[in-house]
Structures are given as C-alpha cells and as structure tokens.
Amino acid sequence: QTEIIKANNDDQAVEKAAELLHKGELVAIPTETVYGLAADALNPEAVKRIFEAKGRPQDNPLIIHIGAQKDLEKLIAEKVSKRAQKLIDKYWPGPLTLIFKKSSLVPAETSAGLDTVAVRMPSHPVTIKLLQKSGLVLAAPSANTSGYPSPTRAEHVYADLKTKIPLILDGGSCEVGVESTVIDLSQKEAVVLRPGGISREELAEFLGEELKLNNNLEKSTQGVISPGMKYRHYAPQKNLYIFDPVKKDLLFKKAEQKKIALIISRQTELGQKEDQLKVIRAFDREKPAELARKLFALLRELDSDPEVEEIYIEELKEEGLGETLMNRIYKAAAAKDEAQPGGGDNS
C-alpha cells in the first residue's frame, strides 16, 4: 500500500522518507519542476527498482539530485569548469541539470552505462530537507509511468504508481511544472539536451554565448490537425493535436462528430461556435510560464474526463519557455502507432 504524507514542515515525514531510502526503497518526492521517483543514487539495487516501477527503458540515464554543492565533488571526475560554476552560482537550487564526467562512485545503473552523470540541486524545501537529513544523493526521474504526462501533484504520482512504492511526500503543486533544462558543457560549445524550466534564451544570454539545442526533435510536417511526431511521451491516452487558430473552422467541423477539448490562450478568439467545444483558456500568450505550471495536470484531467474524446492545444511561439512547452507538446502529440518506448527522451 502506498502512503501519501503531506510534508510541508513535517519533520516526521522527512525522517520516514530518509529511513526508507536508506533501506534501498523508493520514495516519490516533490521538486519545483515535477515530482521525482527517488532512490539512493549510489545503491544499484535501489536504482534498478526505479526502472521497474516506471517501466523505464534501461538505457535512459537518471539525474542525481544533491542537497549541497559539496556533494557534487564525489560524483564527478573532473574539475568544475568556470562556465559550470557560473551556472551553478546563478541557478542552483533550481531547474537546471548539468552533465559531468562521472566518478567511479556513480553506479552504471544510474548513468545507464554512460561515462557521464547528470546532476542538479532542486529547490523544493521538503526535498532539500530530505537530502540534507538523509545525507544521500538521490537518483530521480519524473514519478510517472514511462510515457505518461509528468506528475505535478502528489495525486498524479498516486494514479500512476500506487502499490508500487511505499511513500509519496506531498509537497503541493509544482511551481515550474515542466522538467529541468539539461545542459551539456563537456564540449567547447555548450548544448541544451532538453529544453526545460529555464529557457535556452535566458541561459544563452547569461553565458554570453550561443547555445544550441540538440534534442533530436523531428517536427511534424503534416500540418496542425495531424499528430506527426516520432516519439510519443508526456502523453495522454487520448489523441492530442496541435491547434492553429487560423484553422478553427476545421476544428468546428470535427466537433460535429467528436467531443473536443481545446486548451488555448486568453487572447485567442473563436467566435460564436466556441460553445461546441470544451474550451480551456489556460494562459496569456506572452506568459507561457502559466501554461508550464498547468500543462501536465490539464492533460491528465482531460484524459480522465468522459466528456472529452480528443484534446487540442494551441501552438505556441518557440521562444523562451514556449520552446520548452512545444517540445513537450510535440512529443505528447506524437501518433500512437509511431510510439517507440525505447527512443528519445523517454522519461
């Protein structure tokens, strides 16, 4: 049976979590980005349990979460570069993950056999307390079943992993709502491997250098009404489509046959036929951060709504956090029959 404990300011909850983790058990933890499914990162048996509980492909490495900067040294086999230190000073604790050459302390299970390790310091107070009290470093992917939308509330974790884990620490709704930005500084040119809670634009500006995106994204060439991505992740069970407001008449036509939910900005006007759809005005166009907070929860909610058969979401400009959101949306909208559980950022 899975226990959920409200963990705000509750030392006992944190102690219980620390005890379980020391025994090699799994605990779901709140972070500012999404909930994580945590295990002692240096215990290979514990880490194996993460992959089993999530149904995660073995070849996808985990991020190690640390509670203090001194924990970094033992995990890595290189000197922290000036560039990395600059990012750490500015963004830790926070939604930024850095890749380093790993030390021999990090088991192959955690890094999926790579000679590098991904590390971040999360900012949620409950998890910071847990890291400090337990003295552990924690491997934690998002606490969803592999392929599903990431969990931003304790109840999402419960929906996916109930009975599979002993404890969920409930730290409320995640503030950022999308995963950390993963950046690789090991080459001369820094590369973003996964756009996330801190936009690539912001990082490039802060570093004063160009920052490429390399996330193997293949954009749909089939137009807006068609899901056309190769890898389906972050995905609801129902079909998700990307909506271009210019083509709203096509959507109204579809709504004659199907019950459709539409997630759009407050600025998007649909005209009189709007009431043929379930319309959710979830964000301001200029402020994608609001959609970031809500996106995964909305997908889960609409997925379990019997009044909804298909979900549409407005296309965003791929600028700032819009780039991160479109990355998630493209993957979530990938055609089901093209789903490849082993591929891409299948996490």
Ligand-binding site membership of 111 (annotated): no
What six digits make up the tokens of 111?
């890094």
> 345 φ, ψ to 5°?
-85, 65
Ramachandran assignment for 295, one of left (phi > 0), alpha (psi -120 to 50 degrees), beta (any other):
alpha
CB of 118 to ligand TXA, least distance (A): 3
**Site membership for Mg ion, residue 180 (CB under 5 A):** no
Residues of this chain, 128-157, that bind Mg ion according to CB under 5 A: 142
Q: Would you say 8 or 214 has its CB closer to ligand TXA? A: 214
- Binding-site ranges for ligand TXA (CB under 6 A): 31, 33-34, 36, 60-63, 95, 97, 99, 111, 114, 116-118, 122, 140-142, 179-180, 182, 193-194, 345, 347
Binding at 140: pick from ligand TXA, Mg ion, none (beta carbon under 5-8 Å per type): ligand TXA
Task: Return the number of the residue (43 or 146) whose C-beta is nearest ligand TXA.
Answer: 146
Asked if residue 347 binds Mg ion (CB under 5 A), the reply is: yes
Dmax (CA) for the chain in angstroms is: 63
151 binds, among Mg ion, ligand TXA, none (CB under 5 to 8 A by kind): none
Residue among 31 and 199 whose Cβ is closer to Mg ion: 31
Shortest Å, Cβ 246 to Mg ion: 32
Shortest reach from residue 51's CB to ligand TXA, in Å: 10
Spatial distance between the Cα atoms of 59 and 230, rounded to a whole number of angstroms:
18
The answer to whether the annotation marks 56 as part of a ligand binding site is yes
14-22: long-range contacts at Cβ-Cβ below 8 A with a sequence spacing of 24 or more?
Answer: 14/126, 14/129, 14/130, 14/133, 14/169, 15/133, 16/167, 17/130, 17/134, 17/167, 17/169, 18/130, 18/133, 18/134, 18/136, 20/166, 20/167, 21/46, 21/130, 21/134, 21/136, 21/138, 22/134, 22/136
228 binds, among ligand TXA, Mg ion, none (CB under 5 to 8 A by kind): none
Instruction: Please measure the distance between the N-terminal and C-terminal CA atoms of the chain and give it in whole angstroms.
Output: 24
List contacts with Mg ion (CB under 5 A): 142, 347
